[in-house]
Amino acid sequence: MSLHPNEVLIAPVVSEKSYSLISDRKYTFRVHENAHKTQIRQAVEQLFEVEVAKVNVVKVQSKPKRRGLQHGRRPGWKKAIVQLKEGHEIEIFEGASV
């Protein structure tokens, strides 16, 4: 399945853990369910004009949720942790503090 780079990367993950990884040049994104590592690498390199060293992909499992007597599940999603090569950084994350 061929995806456009804008379709591969959905949103950056905003969490305390993801911001603590920025010091190691690791950036966390929510990605398309069908995207694979090569597509994620190409999308990050194209959109942010950086060089990617490594890509790790994690499937976040769905969680059961309950509101009163109503039972349901939160949807699962796919997360990518992208490590950049030395000397590269993504500006949209810079300036954010933990």
Predicted confidence pLDDT, tens digits, the chain (98 residues) = 688 888 999 999 999 999 999 989 999 999 999 999 999 999 999 999 999 999 999 999 999 999 999 999 999 999 999 999 999 998 876 665 55
The secondary structure of the chain, three-state, reads: CCCCHHHHEEEECCCHHHHHHHHHCEEEEEECCCCCHHHHHHHHHHHHCCCEEEEEEEEECCCEEEECCEEEECCCEEEEEEEECCCCCCCCCCCCCC
pLDDT of the residue at 3: 86
The pTM for the full model equals: 0.86
| Domains in the chain with CATH codes | 5-65+72-84 (3.30.70.330)
